[in-house]
Structure formats: structure tokens, C-alpha cells
Amino acid sequence: MVLKICFTVKPKSCKFCGSSDLVKRGYDITIHGKKQKFACKECGKIFYGLNPQGVE
């Protein structure tokens, strides 16, 4: 099985609170490939970055 890398773009702001203070928090390996995770320093929520097409 070959693992495809899903390139992600850093979001401009947190999708939960709107803060722009984000940091990378590793990645998850899914059936679609590796997906970069980001964490918000304000609210602490963790979410995936955007792929180049803008779909999560």
C-alpha cells in the first residue's frame, strides 16, 4: 500500500473562535493520506488544515 501525502495549507484563522494564533500539531494518517493538524492557542481546539482545493 502506498501512502499518499495530502498537502495542506495553514488556515488564516481558527474555525472555532476566529483567532489567528495557530500552531502545527502533528498529523494524522487517514485512508486519504497524511493530513496536517493545527491547534489554536486561544481556544485550544485542534483541526485539520485546508487542502489546496479548499475542501477539508
Asked if the model's pLDDT at residue 2 lies above 80, the reply is no
Q: Model-level pTM?
A: 0.74
Rounded CA-CA distance 43/54 in Å is 23
Give the CATH number of domain 1-56.
2.20.25
Per-residue pLDDT of 6-46, as tens digits, reads: 667 888 999 999 999 999 999 888 887 788 899 999 999 99
Q: Which residues pair with 22 in a beta bridge?
A: 40
Predicted confidence at residue 3, as pLDDT, reads 56
Domain ranges of the chain: 1-56
What are the helix (H) ranges across the chain? Answer: none
